[in-house]
Chain A
């Protein structure tokens, strides 16, 4: 087995190089309920992380894993940078639930990878677009025994606008999000 190439930080100078035009609008071949996932990314002192690269990958509205693209961009993938307030926003469709190879059921979720200066390796996780009681059988939810930790991965539906899901990410310290390794 060859050794994998080590990870290094994305550094502070990526935005112009890596961002896509309309990278905040996730494309799919079919229709679905359009939603926005938005929130802020914070460091261990509670300061906003203004230079993170925030990427998302998800199933379509029917729970199908996307393949192909619209000619200009791949389906199912979002890519933005956080702004000076640490804020990101991704406009996408509400993902359906889907099954794994062992017929386990994955709750509606979006896979998230965050790169930033000071992150020598990306952090990866999955954010749930369903309330706690609806995700109990999800493989990741089952792997997290502490409900307070699990709550760090649940996006809250905005009471004033049901199309908006709010999810803040703390990289370190109190309220630190659960990050995963495969």
Chain B
């Protein structure tokens, strides 16, 4: 099984309870290699790659989407606590009914014409981001009998170096479905808390939107100062 010393927080490739890993997880050990100059550099996203409006997922339609409006704030940091500045953060999610506007989503739940469920933002000079959206719904999936994915928001981060590239999922505090979700449970216990947002009421909008906080930490190549 391809297992790495960094597995203290990252999931293994093979996690049989998540059925899709059985044929897709590499079986050979990873080859450890020093970072190349490509790994310590990374793509630069031009300033107008992202429009300010793309950080608000609730303003794409003719009126507000259905669901519980929320503001999500957080910081992207490296392992030494330094801000990861001017880096691209992409998000996508189901609507409040647990439905994605995607052709392979066969969940019998309504689409929301006022919600596309995608957004992006660049972190600021302190590594901060802010996104406005609605809380996604849980939805059933075919992995196992009576399986339901807990509500989650997908995150894609580029960091400041190719070696920092990360795709992950953010979950909500107190969700009973976390206990039966093999994707969440694939993360070793020491890492699970890091995928759950905190309520952060003061960053919400009084009377309008609930506030949540989700900070993320990107690693560099092991034992190699990246200086980014």
Interface residues of A (CB under 8 A from B): 1-18, 43-45, 47, 49, 51, 55, 57-59, 65-77, 98-101, 106, 111, 113, 115-123, 126, 139-140, 143-144, 149, 171-173, 176-182
Q: Could you tell me how many residues of chain B have their Cβ less than 8 Å away from some Cβ of chain A?
A: 80
B1-43 interface bits toward A, Cβ cutoff 8 Å, 1 = contact, 0 = none = 0101010111111010011111111111011111111110111
Q: Are the C-beta atoms of A13 and B30 separated by less than 8 Å?
A: no
B99-122 interface bits toward A, Cβ cutoff 8 Å, 1 = contact, 0 = none = 011101100000000000110000
Q: Are the C-beta atoms of A12 and B44 separated by less than 8 Å?
A: no
When A18-B156, A45-B23, A57-B162 are in contact, do A120 and B33 touch as well, CB less than 8 Å? no
Task: Report A-chain residues with C-beta under 8 Å of the C-beta of B66.
Answer: none
Q: Are the C-beta atoms of A144 and B28 separated by less than 8 Å?
A: no
> Which of B123-131, B172-180, B204-212, B217-225 is the contact stretch?
B217-225
Q: Are the C-beta atoms of A2 and B81 separated by less than 8 Å?
A: yes
When A7-B10, A178-B28, A182-B35 are in contact, do A15 and B46 touch as well, CB less than 8 Å? no
Shortest distance between the CB of B171 and any CB in chain A (Å): 9
What are 22 sample pairs from A and B whose C-beta atoms fall under 8 A apart?
Answer: A2-B78, A3-B79, A5-B216, A7-B166, A9-B183, A12-B102, A16-B101, A17-B154, A44-B23, A44-B27, A57-B162, A69-B43, A69-B45, A99-B37, A106-B36, A111-B39, A111-B162, A113-B165, A121-B11, A171-B25, A180-B32, A182-B39
Give Cα A171–Cα B2 distance, bound, in whole angstroms: 11
Q: Which of B118, B168, B192, B216 has the most CB of A within 10 A?
A: B168
Shortest distance between the CB of A162 and any CB in chain B (Å): 25
Give Cα A176–Cα B95 distance, bound, in whole angstroms: 37
**Cβ 8 A contact of B21, one of A7, A12, A69, A118:** A118
Give Cα A70–Cα B35 distance, bound, in whole angstroms: 27
Q: Are the C-beta atoms of B37 and A100 separated by less than 8 Å?
A: yes
Interface assignment of B202: CB less than 8 Å from any CB of chain A:
no
**Cβ 8 A contact of B34, one of A65, A139, A179:** A139
Q: Are the C-beta atoms of B23 and A43 separated by less than 8 Å?
A: yes
Interface of B is mostly: loop
Q: Are the C-beta atoms of A179 and B30 separated by less than 8 Å?
A: yes
Q: List 14 additional A-B contacts (Cβ < 8 Å) besides A9-B169, A9-B183, A172-B27.
A: A3-B8, A3-B190, A4-B6, A6-B11, A12-B102, A12-B104, A13-B105, A66-B44, A69-B45, A76-B43, A106-B37, A143-B33, A176-B27, A179-B30
Interface assignment of B191: CB less than 8 Å from any CB of chain A:
yes
When A1-B79, A6-B168 are in contact, do A179 and B31 touch as well, CB less than 8 Å? yes
